[in-house]
Structure 1
């Protein structure tokens, strides 16, 4: 009696290597999201100066957003290759939709919201530096000085409103991807023997 090697697949089943890649991309994106959103962001925001925190974010976030959208794309691709559309169950169709939403939202964040947020923040920091602001530790300290700057400088006020808009949009995209990846992890846990 001959046995089929573990890495080989029967008709329609993903190989062990495909499952491994899928797990690596999904867990990498999930791990980055949890670390950046709930751990490093909070720690840096409360322990670094406003401008240092902003500078680190402006350098870190493009990599975070682009790597996340790449992971989401490969997750969708691997799943779609091993699940032909004519054979999809309702659960698999839902999973494809979740991956597609994640790819789309992560891509928008990488190419638009995240990039614009960093550009606006850089412009704001230049104005803040010229007024002797930005070296306070924590984001809520000295809020009154920033409010006064907004009232006295229309350009800064415009940047502040734009930053709030784009930062909130970027945060919503990030939250959407966290939810999508959480659902995908649940699906994967429920279907460990397949994909």
Structure 2
């Protein structure tokens, strides 16, 4: 970095804290807690916990991504960026965008649709089975109730976009961690 002064150790530590916080949350929520809860809780309990947990997850992740972008951009003035740093700032920008989309739109819409679906399922006495794909009656409900079928279709679309944004953030943070590791002078 060809600026007058390197960032202070405190700034570097803050950057590492926010990057690792977001990375750790992503790995835990995406690959561990979702599978454990999904296989051990009823569908409605799992959905309720997700609807309470995910807004915090998305908002904290969005804030961490924005702070990382801000710290990196502040420490790397645009007139001095090399190709690798330009790529890194682009990765941070993509991460902020994907995290913000999840925090402000996809996450909330998904939770709202899921809540509507749970109300329909409860009216039929469904959704209390434990584990993934455990309630075959939901498939029958899909064929019987056109509103439920429409909500299922919408939920699938929004969950797909939300998952893609989440995976995009995981990839961006993975690349950022790789970049950071490649620029450590010593452990």
Q: Which of structures 1 and 2 has the bigger CA Rg?
A: 1
Equivalence for 1:53: 46
Alignment counterpart, residue 171 of structure 1, candidates 163, 168, 171: 163
The superposition leaves residues 125-165 of structure 1 with CA deviations (integer Å, 9 ceiling, x where unpaired) of 000000000110012112x3111101111110000000000
Give distance in 2, aligned partners of 1:100 and 1:12.
Answer: 24
Give distance in 2, aligned partners of 1:87 and 1:193.
Answer: 20
Is the 8 Å Cα contact of residues 12 and 83 (structure 1) preserved in structure 2? no
> 1:192 Cα deviation (Å)?
1.7
Alignment counterpart, residue 30 of structure 2, candidates 37, 53, 61: 37
Give the superposed CA RMSD. Answer: 1.2
Query: What TM-score, normalized to structure 2?
Result: 0.96
The superposition leaves residues 90-137 of structure 1 with CA deviations (integer Å, 9 ceiling, x where unpaired) of 000000000000000000010000010000000000000000001100
Equivalence for 1:3: none
> 1:11 Cα deviation (Å)?
2.0
Once the two structures are superposed, the pairs formed by residues 77-88 of structure 1 within 5 Å of their partners are 77-88=70-81
Q: Secondary structure at the match of 2:7?
A: coil
Give distance in 2, aligned partners of 1:19 and 1:193.
Answer: 13
Give distance in 1, aligned partners of 2:120 and 2:98.
Answer: 31
1:22 to 2:23 alignment: no
The superposition leaves residues 28-52 of structure 1 with CA deviations (integer Å, 9 ceiling, x where unpaired) of 0000000000000000000000000
Is the 8 Å Cα contact of residues 21 and 64 (structure 2) preserved in structure 1? yes
Give distance in 1, aligned partners of 2:66 and 2:117.
Answer: 33
Q: Name structure 2 gaps, 5 residues minimum.
A: none
1:155 to 2:134 alignment: no
> 1:193 Cα deviation (Å)?
3.9
Q: Name structure 1 gaps, 5 residues minimum.
A: 1-9
Is the 8 Å Cα contact of residues 50 and 135 (structure 1) preserved in structure 2? yes
Is the 8 Å Cα contact of residues 58 and 99 (structure 2) preserved in structure 1? yes
Equivalence for 1:133: 126
Aligned residues: 184
1:146 to 2:147 alignment: no
State the 4+ residue runs in structure 1 displaced beyond 4 angstroms. none
Q: Secondary structure at the match of 1:133?
A: coil
Give distance in 2, aligned partners of 1:86 and 1:163.
Answer: 44
The superposition leaves residues 1-28 of structure 1 with CA deviations (integer Å, 9 ceiling, x where unpaired) of xxxxxxxxx8241111100100000000
> 1:72 Cα deviation (Å)?
0.1
